[in-house]
């Protein structure tokens, strides 16, 4: 295999960047835990009070807007207070990690152009940069999209499903980063929202969300490879 040039090569991540990368991975873990607590709390509010509570109201640190909702129900008030305290603690830890990372690490060129992309801020930009490594190790955009878990793994023959590949191949942290970017882009960027709406009319919400994440993943590849800013016309045109 070595003589034929078909021996797969592994990539050894630079030792000096590993601590920051692992710190961002810990942030993702904490965000996941906080999200599960908020979803659980929203379900309690929905079941008990028949209403909905905004995520922004749950996350606010300066005021407890959860416990007063259960003023007449002692057990639920305790559940709400405990959940709120845990969410507040996780929020503070997440903010601490973000502050430490931003002090120690900055986006290097050409990765700094990632900030021009819809749905990508400094933390997601740093996550994408550190998890990707040298973009030159991906020969084609399809290789990078596959590494980010943003391509289908279904095997078909004559339009019939015959199985699927290993959906856990690739980098789960990049898959999460582009999924987050897709969610933020469709909420705050007009071009991304229009593309998402077009896809949703023909399919459904999850497929439209995945399609937008795939578009952003491909755009990120060319941004990092060529060192150019994001162009909505090229991405969604």
Cα distances from 4 to residues 87, 137, 164, 234, in angstroms, run 55, 20, 29, 38
Before 110, cis peptide (omega within 30)?
A: yes
Interhelix angle 122-132/205-226, rounded to 10 degrees, is 70
Question: Per DSSP, which regions of 61-177 are E strands?
Answer: 154-157, 160-164
pLDDT digits (tens, 9 = 90+) for 68-77: 888 778 888 8
Q: Give the closest residue to 133 by CA, choosing from 9, 5, 30.
A: 9
This prediction's pTM: 0.86
pLDDT digits (tens, 9 = 90+) for 159-201: 777 777 777 788 999 999 999 999 999 999 999 999 999 999 9
- Whether residue 110 has pLDDT greater than 80: yes
| 51 token code pair | 């209403």
pLDDT digits (tens, 9 = 90+) for 24-56: 999 999 999 999 999 998 998 888 888 888 888
| pLDDT score recorded for residue 52 | 84
């Amino acid at each position: 295999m070595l003589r034929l040039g078909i021996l797969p090569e592994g990539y050894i991540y630079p030792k000096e960047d590993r601590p920051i990368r692992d710190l961002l991975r810990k942030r993702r873990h904490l965000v996941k835990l906080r999200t599960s607590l908020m979803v659980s709390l929203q379900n309690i509010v929905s079941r008990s009070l028949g209403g909905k509570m905004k995520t922004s109201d749950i996350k606010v640190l300066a005021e407890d807007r959860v416990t007063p909702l259960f003023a007449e129900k002692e057990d639920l008030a305790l559940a709400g207070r405990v959940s709120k305290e845990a969410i507040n603690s996780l929020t503070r830890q997440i903010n601490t990690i973000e502050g430490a990372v931003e002090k120690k690490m900055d986006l290097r060129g050409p990765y700094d152009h990632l900030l021009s992309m819809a749905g990508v801020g400094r933390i997601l930009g740093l996550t994408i940069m550190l998890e990707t490594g040298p973009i030159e190790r991906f020969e084609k955009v399809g290789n990078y999209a596959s590494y980010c878990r943003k391509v289908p793994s279904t095997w078909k023959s004559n339009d019939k499903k015959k199985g699927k590949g290993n959906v856990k191949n690739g980098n789960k942290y990049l898959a999460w980063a582009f999924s987050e970017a897709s969610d933020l882009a469709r909420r705050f960027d007009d071009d991304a929202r229009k593309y998402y709406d077009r896809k949703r009319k023909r399919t459904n919400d999850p497929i439209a969300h995945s399609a937008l994440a795939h578009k952003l993943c491909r755009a990120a590849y060319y941004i990092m490879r060529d060192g150019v800013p994001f162009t909505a016309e090229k991405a969604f045109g």
